[in-house]
Amino acid sequence: MTVDPINKSEIYFPSYSGSNESLLILLNRTSEIMCKWFSDSEKLGPIPIDNNFDCSVPDENGMSADVLFSEIENLIYSSFNPVHPGSLAHLDPPPLIISILGDLIAAGLNNNLLANELSPSISLLEESICNWFSQKLGFPKSAGGIAASGGTLSNLNALVAARNHSGLEADPMAVYLISEDAHSSFAKCTQIMGLGKNNLIKVKTDNNGCMDIIDLKKSIYKCSKEGKRIFSIVATLGTTIRGAIDPIERISKICKERNIWLHIDGSIGGIFSIINSPINGISNVNLANSITINPQKILGITKTSSILIVSNIEVLKNTFSTGLPYVSAENNVLNRGELGIQGSRPAEIIKLWLGLRFLGMQGIATVLNSSIERRIFFENNLNPEKYDLYSGPLHIITFLPKGMNKNETDEWTLNKRISLMSKNFMLSRPLFKNRYFLRAVMGNYNTGESHINDLLKLLN
């Protein structure tokens, strides 16, 4: 018997009593297309050359499955392919297989992390995974956390909580400090918090791209002279362009002396703190009041996957709790939508949990350490007479040819990026301190030494 998968009465929603055979057929067909796309990536390259994606919109009667599947195929084959070994442009690694399943399960369950009664097991799972991270990072027993859809939102959750905790939530003189190399999304956080440009103080970085402690002290002094009140200092653990790590221990000392909330934006490098890594400056993150960890950026947990850990979970409760009057709160159960900005939330924690469980500590370390090894191999073999390198201890490497002026490097980076792309290597061209650079992000587990050697041949 053939089942018409688009017999709408059958497949609008899963059947509560039938066999759900139509759904199974659709899932299998989708999986086949997806897996074929993965397998085809070697010949297709990181991004499609002829992008002929035809963007269709809903019509009156709806579409048959056959039409939809041809459109799905067209969408997939017109997409950026993070699985290709030449995909080295951004913090977007290939998806961990088990985490693809996590997304499927989360969609099927369609639970809501807003409230315990809408996600009884997954709320517990989220709490447990956040507690596990707190413990791995060396945070105290009072710690806990909340997942959010990306690093920007985790940082925003932290900043709003820090400001609330300092009692400066309605103070127009409230400011926070970041380094000049911190992520551009802090400008958005500032706006969302109802603050202006003058409330975001940028501290200079040193030659290695790390927050300059002398300039930090000067900035703090200047703030106090101008009557500005600091509610947080943000240290970046892994800057976006150089992968630099701010001196957390020294910043923490300054914060402790002045009773200022230390937040670590560990969107890129924070995850390294849970493994036994020799990287300098990542073992003391428990000195902070909060830290953002963003496993989507390097571990391959599918987007989005980010968590915020705070040293005292009560601060999140006090900041964000509204009482959620339309949801029952039996037995004083905590509704986790009360711990952050987002209300309804997908069960993103499932894919993170599955990814961590599947890899185990050894697998996590293997994935993370391999990215550092790739960066070191690339760095050691890029012609030192030809290039200036700007790379920190993580997996990001940014470079420019020596001896060219700004106009020349702006043109060189443009042309080089295009020519590398034609050979199936996708690097990024970030604008940094008013100049374009080339940047390779070595978080792609499929990129082997032979691929890096091929890339080096095109550069050296």
Binding residues for ligand PLP, rule: CB under 6 A, are 91, 150-152, 183, 185, 236, 238, 240, 265, 267-268, 294, 306
**Would you say 254 and 146 are in contact if contact means Cβ atoms under 8 Å apart?**
no
> By beta-carbon distance, which residue lies closest to ligand PLP?
151
**Minimum CB distance to ligand PLP smaller for 152 or for 335:** 152
**Minimum CB distance to ligand PLP smaller for 102 or for 238:** 238
Q: Which residue has the tokens 């008013």?
A: 434
**Minimum CB distance to ligand PLP smaller for 156 or for 216:** 156
**Minimum CB distance to ligand PLP smaller for 186 or for 436:** 186
Q: How far apart are the first and last CA of the chain?
A: 61
Calpha distance 198→200 (Å, rounded): 5
Calpha distance 209→432 (Å, rounded): 11
Residue 458 CB, nearest approach to ligand PLP (Å): 26
**Minimum CB distance to ligand PLP smaller for 236 or for 335:** 236
Residue 305 CB, nearest approach to ligand PLP (Å): 9
Calpha distance 112→343 (Å, rounded): 9
Q: Which residues, 6 or more positions from 199, have their beta carbon under 8 angstroms from its beta carbon? A: 172, 174, 175, 176, 190, 228
Q: What is the 3-state secondary structure of 271-331? A: HHHHCCCCCCCCCCHHHCCEEEECCCCCCCCCCCCEEEEECCHHHHHHHHCCCCCCCCCHH
Residue 23 CB, nearest approach to ligand PLP (Å): 32
**Minimum CB distance to ligand PLP smaller for 11 or for 161:** 161
Residue 312 CB, nearest approach to ligand PLP (Å): 23
Residue 241 CB, nearest approach to ligand PLP (Å): 9
Q: Compute, in degrees rounded to 10, the torsion defined by CA atoms 193, 197, 203, 204.
A: 140
Residue 63 CB, nearest approach to ligand PLP (Å): 33
Q: What does the longest C-alpha to C-alpha distance in the chain come to?
A: 81
**Peptide bond just before 304 cis, omega within 30 deg:** yes
Residue 366 CB, nearest approach to ligand PLP (Å): 23
**Minimum CB distance to ligand PLP smaller for 11 or for 310:** 310
CA separation, residue 445 to residues 123, 261, 415 (Å): 31, 36, 27
Q: Which residue has the tokens 């459109």?
A: 71
